[in-house]
Amino acid sequence: MYKLIYHNIDYAIGLEEESPLEHYTIEELDLLQQYLLIDVCELYDIQWRPLNNNNDISTCTCYHFFPRFTRILPDNGKELLCPAEQIQYFLKHLKPLMPNDLFSRCKSMSVDAWDKYVSKVQGSIVWFPKNRPAAIRLDQLDRENSSYPVIVHFGIRPAVLSIQYNQEYRQAYKSYLKVFFLLKNRTPTDEDKANLRDKEQRLKQIVAKHAEQLKREIVVEISSEYAYRTGFKSDIIQHSLLLSSLHDHLRFHQSLTELENQLIGYQFRNRWLMQLALTHPSGNYVLHNNLGPNPDHVKNSLANCRIRNTVYGDRKQLFRPITKRGVSTLFKIMAKKAKTCEHISEITNYERLEFLGDALLELLVSIHLFFLFPQFDEGRLSTFRVGLIQNHFFTSLARNLRLQHFIIYNHGPDLCSHSALNHALANSFEALMGAIYLDGGLAIVDKILSKILFYQDKQLTDIWNNLQEYPLKIQYPISDRHLIEQVPLLKQLTKFEQDIGVEFQHIRMLAQAFCTRPIPQNDLTIEDNERLEFLGDTVLNFVVSDYLYRHFPEHHEGHLSLLRSCTVSNPTQAVIYDELGMQVYVDYVREQLRITTPKLIEKSLKAKADVFEAFIAALFIDQGLESIYSFCRATIFPRLQDFISTQHWNDPKSNLQHCCLALRDPNDRNPPLPEYRVLKSIGSSNNVQYKVGVFFRKQRLSIGVGRSIHDAEMAAAKNALEQHAQMFPLLNYQKSVLASSNHYHNSRRRITTTTINKNENNRQQPFSLRNVKTRGDVSSMIITSAKVKS
């Protein structure tokens, strides 16, 4: 299925398999293609033949197009005309518009006779073999006293030559919009209203000044002396010009076959995902307005030969999913709630897939490093991971796959620099891995990534894929639950298992997750939870990213990142840590293993988040990735609704800056921003308290206190927003957007909600992993197939 935007209307062009046609020759099809697409439509730059044989006329073209013209038969029958019949029809109608005999008597013809002849050719396409452009739509034919009749064509000036593209008009319109949107976020004064009226009047003056020079509707008069009739109407030309886009689309997907078979070794079931992963944000225009290799030729023919009264679609509604700039757009998108089921996004570039692929690659690299190097601590593992997931390395991998030859982007100044193109290639590589994951699953991505990382080096590939078993599972490969009755610590942890509905096959992993450093030497957990934190962070990051990608289809990459940041932040993890009562078991493990870490440190947000991440890693190694999805569905994903309703994603410092920018003067190029100053620091070096003030326009708004400068600045910004809410009209706009979004979602919920059965037996059961239904795309994981290295 090929999608194309034509006159701001979204079209989908599909290919349907038909039975082989009869009674035609390839030469006949080539003649029709030469006459219609090259001689009349002037599509000279299309590469019809293979790349290496484009100038060899003896070589067959890549595709042959068979025009499907029919004739009506008796009893409602239809006959598909063969190419020979079509050629005869075109030859029959290919004659001068004004033959000598008609020209000699046209001046003496009556009005009715002349109008009868004009009505036959009106709206048809006339052809000038020696002129450029060669074809034009005939709208009117006027007789002249001393020369050939004049062809009148009512055309439309190209948009680039209209008033919308006049430099003076564009600057004035941009200035007008700047003031208009600023006043939407605050109460306008009389001076603001007068300023807006002046700019609006300026726009009207520019339009009046250039009205005649830049008006879009124009009238073209051409002598009919060398004009030929073609037998075409505008509808045939418009449909024929679609072949340029279709041909380019087919050639592109034919080239993707080489990328699939020769380079990555995987065939996509959904080719749309592959195309999406190769579409740069600037390629939105190319993807939606793809008119072939030389769009100017198509636009010229379309402007001269299309239907006169063209119906246009709503451009704003059509390109709404692509828009992502502006504070208003930010709050509108971030106010949207999660979809109840997975949805396909209307955003047609690789940014969302890049968001998913980035988390995916970080997960796979972390898993391999974690099991390949059991002797390395978190610091070393993080160092190795940074080297493998940086953009510079991904650019090298993308060039090995020759993605620079496949990526879709708009040819302009954006990607002319070497660094910009490398960054785009790295992003496209991440998006391609995300597309493979959505199409084939996690195990397929792991296999392909291993092949790409160590290109044609089988020894390194085997080392990378030969994962060792986790040390705690080596001692007791099947299970270590038989130790519960022998070790009081493990028996105590079974209460935590009962609370969350999870039964670990290797319960010592749960004990290890609760072991904070430094830990004395012991045979029960062997080591502390530091390495588990390294793995748990990436596992949680990927699972949340996957959920956000699937259930927030209207959010761009930046919006998804904001939601992910607040979802996997230390405060959120600390809250879940407290709700699950992990602190009790951490204290018990400390007591049993004689850990000397001060309890004050253990109760900090960072320490709680570290233990929670270690628990995620332990659950992942013991139960697999699907258990993490189930755990997050019960404990993390439901919180997103509250994060959206309370704008938890918008931290106080960012929100205060947005509010201050909304108050700026439209003519001020350097608007004032909130300024933070450290006023005082109290306490010793290991227990210091900072006092920070926030200032705006030389006025102190509030004061905040925190254990770090960053925390104090956040507290100061939060206090400023609460104490001076009347000063910032943008806060009211945020509340109105949230109220509108909540009203919409509540109304949808009332429509789709079914009657709840109040029977006690039908109540929702508490969270448990014992009845997890595995998902096909995550049920197979490399951890489950890890073998002990011999």
Which residues does 481 contact at the CB level (< 8 Å), separation at least 6? 504, 505, 506, 507
Reply yes or no on whether the pLDDT at 770 is more than 70: no
List pLDDT tens digits, range 452-491: 998 778 899 899 998 889 989 988 889 999 999 999 999 9
Reply yes or no on whether the pLDDT at 523 is more than 90: no
Mean pLDDT confidence for 700-724: 93
Is 629 strand, coil or helix?
helix
DSSP code, position 561: H
Beta bridge partners of 704: 692
Alpha-carbon dihedral sign for residues 599, 603, 607, 611: positive
Beta bridge partners of 228: 96, 127
H or E element in which residue 155 lies: strand 150-156
Q: Is there a domain that residue 788 lies in?
A: no
178, 193, 226 — which closes off a domain? 226
Identify the pLDDT of residue 759: 41
**677 shares a domain with 625:** no
Q: Is there a domain that residue 557 lies in?
A: yes
**597 shares a domain with 519:** yes
Q: Is there a domain that residue 534 lies in?
A: yes
Confidence grade of residue 329 (pLDDT, cut at 50, 70, 90) = confident
Identify the pLDDT of residue 317: 57
Tell me, letter by letter, the H, E, C secondary structure of 67-89: CCCEEEECCCEEEECCHHHHHHH
Reply yes or no on whether the pLDDT at 245 is more than 60: yes
Reply yes or no on whether the pLDDT at 763 is more than 80: no
Q: Select from 578, 601, 574 the least CA-distant residue to 590.
A: 601
Helix runs in 12-133, H state only: 26-33, 83-93, 100-106, 111-121
Place of tokens 């041909």: 247
**635 shares a domain with 486:** yes
Q: Strands 77-80, 150-156: parallel, antiparallel or unpaired by DSSP?
A: unpaired
Range with top average pLDDT, 294-303, 637-646, 681-690? 637-646
Q: How far apart, in whole angstroms, are the C-alpha atoms of residue 644 and residue 557?
A: 16
Q: Is there a domain that residue 587 lies in?
A: yes
**Chain centre to alpha carbon of residue 479:** 44
Identify the pLDDT of residue 323: 63
Identify the pLDDT of residue 287: 64
**181 shares a domain with 118:** no
Which tokens go with 445? 């991505």
List pLDDT tens digits, range 84-101: 999 999 999 999 999 888
**725 shares a domain with 594:** no
Reply yes or no on whether the pLDDT at 757 is more than 50: no
**688 shares a domain with 634:** no
Q: How far apart, in whole angstroms, are the C-alpha atoms of residue 132 and residue 138?
A: 16
Mean pLDDT confidence for 247-260: 89
Mean pLDDT confidence for 587-597: 78
Identify the pLDDT of residue 779: 35
Reply yes or no on whether the pLDDT at 210 is more than 70: yes
List pLDDT tens digits, range 394-452: 999 999 999 999 998 877 776 778 888 999 999 999 999 999 999 999 999 999 999 99
Identify the pLDDT of residue 560: 95
**Total domains, the chain:** 4
Q: How far apart, in whole angstroms, are the C-alpha atoms of residue 193 and residue 607?
A: 54
Identify the pLDDT of residue 785: 38
Reply yes or no on whether the pLDDT at 602 is more than 60: no
Mean pLDDT confidence for 666-672: 78
DSSP structure string for 328-380: HHHHHHHTPPPPSS-------STHHHHHHHHHHHHHHHHHHHHHH-TT--HHH
Beta bridge partners of 141: 151
Identify the pLDDT of residue 611: 94
Can you give the residue range of the structural domain that contains 634?
Answer: 471-649
Q: Is there a domain that residue 203 lies in?
A: yes
Q: Which strands sit side by side in the sheet containing 689-696, from one edge to the other? A: 675-682, 689-696, 699-706
Backbone angles phi, psi at 565, to 5 degrees: -60, -45
Identify the pLDDT of residue 454: 86
Q: How far apart, in whole angstroms, are the C-alpha atoms of residue 341 and residue 351?
A: 21
Backbone angles phi, psi at 370, to 5 degrees: -60, -40
Which tokens go with 671? 């608007």
**639 shares a domain with 714:** no
Report the CATH number that the domain containing residue 708 is assigned in CATH: 3.30.160.20
- Cβ–Cβ under 8 Å, residues 439 and 427: no
By CB neighbour count within 10 A (0-12 exposed, 13-18 middle, 19+ buried), where does 110 fall?
A: exposed
Confidence grade of residue 517 (pLDDT, cut at 50, 70, 90) = confident
List pLDDT tens digits, range 177-207: 888 877 776 777 888 888 888 988 988 888 8
Mean pLDDT confidence for 37-49: 87
Beta bridge partners of 229: 95, 126
**598 shares a domain with 513:** yes
Mean pLDDT of the chain, nearest integer? 84
Mean pLDDT confidence for 720-730: 89
Reply yes or no on whether the pLDDT at 597 is more than 80: no
Q: Is there a domain that residue 269 lies in?
A: no
Confidence grade of residue 147 (pLDDT, cut at 50, 70, 90) = confident
**601 shares a domain with 540:** yes
- Cβ–Cβ under 8 Å, residues 66 and 47: no
Confidence grade of residue 777 (pLDDT, cut at 50, 70, 90) = very low
**167 shares a domain with 153:** no
Confidence grade of residue 385 (pLDDT, cut at 50, 70, 90) = very high
Helix then strand count (H, E) for the chain reads: 33, 14
Q: Is there a domain that residue 206 lies in?
A: yes
**173 shares a domain with 144:** no
Which residues does 364 contact at the CB level (< 8 Å), separation at least 6? 442, 445, 446, 449
Identify the pLDDT of residue 788: 34
Place of tokens 């400068």: 709
Identify the pLDDT of residue 567: 94
Q: How many CB atoms lie within 10 A of CB 736?
A: 12
The amino acid present at 606, given as its one-letter code, is: K
% of the chain residues with pLDDT over 90:
41
Is 96 strand, coil or helix?
strand
Reply yes or no on whether the pLDDT at 142 is more than 70: yes
Mean pLDDT confidence for 280-294: 73
Report the CATH number that the domain containing residue 479 is assigned in CATH: 1.10.1520.10
Q: Is there a domain that residue 612 lies in?
A: yes
Alpha-carbon dihedral sign for residues 568, 569, 573, 576: negative
pLDDT: is 461 or 755 the higher one? 461
**732 shares a domain with 629:** no
Q: How far apart, in whole angstroms, are the C-alpha atoms of residue 358 and residue 546?
A: 11
Confidence grade of residue 160 (pLDDT, cut at 50, 70, 90) = low
Identify the pLDDT of residue 598: 58
